[in-house]
Amino acid sequence: MSGEDSSDEGKKKPSAAGSNGKGRRHPRNVLNDLSGEEWLYFTRSVLRTSYPHEFSQDLRRAHGANKPPRLMMELIRFFTKSGQSVLDPFAGVGGTLLGASLCGRKATGIEINREWIDVYLKVCEQEKLEAQEMIQGDCLEVLPKLADARDPFDFVVFDPPYNVDMKVTMCNNTYGRQNRKKSYHPFSDDSRDISKVNSYEEYLDKMEEAFKHLYPILHHNRYMAIIVRDAYQDGQYIFAGYDVTKRAERSGFIPKGDTVWYQSGTRLRPYGYPYAYVPNIVHQHILVLRKE
């Protein structure tokens, strides 16, 4: 074990790799199918990834905020057992659904924009994967109906539209969209798209409404993970991860952790140089909450 893994915290949990043996699942593990070592490794609060282009990234990249299916699979593998169910209410081109397919879980996605659902279906065809359930619609309308019609899910995971749809970039277009790695692509023209609201407060209100609908649809004692990026707007840092967590708490979710995810290779831009400090936000938060 590395120095990091052999901390006191790790030693207090001998069942992880000790009594149970390396590579074996603890018989009382109610959460997932991982061995103790795999469990410990996942609980690090910093994650650095550099995934190859895979799972038809050529098609999925049309969506400027698609998430790596491999990352989603890692989250799903920790928070569910084989065969359990996963919900993504902001499914985009299906990063979560693909991740679920990769590890043998059932998934349901809700996405407002038909264009993204069609991309997901094309990806499944190209990758020879059976498509998971995708529902087109506003999740704020779909979720209450789903809660009436279905058993609760075992895990909810998503990355919502991050913030109010920005008409200009962080630096008021000084470096503009031409400095972006990918072309700017608004998620949808639908007024019910959560990024179409007029203010940050309104955005948080919408997120709070989503949490209210998500709470009853998640099994008791199960988890929700949300990927959120902080922002810098109008000369001010916005702790979006913290603000979103606070809204989720109002519905009863208990915050359990915050993994800082750094996808290496993010391009740096000289926003404040040479006058003022302006951060290059190269990380996202993976916020973990639980219904207890």
**Residue 155 lies near ligand SAM (rule: CB under 6 A):** no
Q: Which of 20, 32, 56, 66 binds ligand SAM (CB under 6 A)?
A: 66
Q: Which of 37, 38, 193, 230 binds ligand SAM (CB under 6 A)?
A: 193
Structure tokens at 93: 């081109």
Is residue 238 a contact partner of residue 203, using CB atoms and an 8 Å limit? no
* CA–CA distance, 247 with 87 (Å, rounded to integer): 19
Q: What Å distances lie between residue 109 and 93, 100, 119, 133, 227, CA to CA? A: 10, 11, 13, 6, 16
Cβ nearer to ligand SAM, comparing 16 with 112: 112
* In the complex, least distance from residue 2 CB atom to ligand SAM, rounded to whole angstroms: 31
- Cβ neighbours around 65 below 10 Å, total: 18
Neighbouring residues of 277: CB distance < 8 A, sequence distance ≥ 6: none
Cβ nearer to ligand SAM, comparing 93 with 146: 93
* Residue appearing with tokens 């031409």: 178
**Residue 156 lies near ligand SAM (rule: CB under 6 A):** no
Cβ nearer to ligand SAM, comparing 17 with 226: 226
Candidates 108-116, 126-134, 254-262, 279-287: pick the segment binding ligand SAM (CB under 6 A). Answer: 108-116
Q: Which of 161, 164, 218, 251 binds ligand SAM (CB under 6 A)?
A: 161
Considering only residues 116 to 135 of the shown chain, the ones binding ligand SAM according to CB under 6 A are: 116
Structure tokens at 226: 């949300």
* In the complex, least distance from residue 196 CB atom to ligand SAM, rounded to whole angstroms: 8
Neighbouring residues of 152: CB distance < 8 A, sequence distance ≥ 6: 216, 217, 218, 219, 220, 222
**Residue 38 lies near ligand SAM (rule: CB under 6 A):** no
**Residue 67 lies near ligand SAM (rule: CB under 6 A):** yes
Which stretches of 45-176 are assigned E, i.e. beta strand? 46-49, 85-88, 106-111, 133-136, 153-158
- Decide: residue 187, CB within 10 A, 0-12 exposed, 13-18 middle, 19+ buried: buried
Candidates 58-66, 126-134, 166-174, 247-255: pick the segment binding ligand SAM (CB under 6 A). Answer: 58-66
* In the complex, least distance from residue 281 CB atom to ligand SAM, rounded to whole angstroms: 15
Q: Which of 55, 78, 187, 271 binds ligand SAM (CB under 6 A)?
A: 187
**Residue 230 lies near ligand SAM (rule: CB under 6 A):** no
Tell which residue, 5, 28, 1, 3, has the closest CA to residue 15: 28
**Residue 74 lies near ligand SAM (rule: CB under 6 A):** no
* Residues engaged in binding ligand SAM (CB under 6 A): 63, 65-67, 90-96, 110-113, 116, 138-140, 159-161, 187-188, 192-194
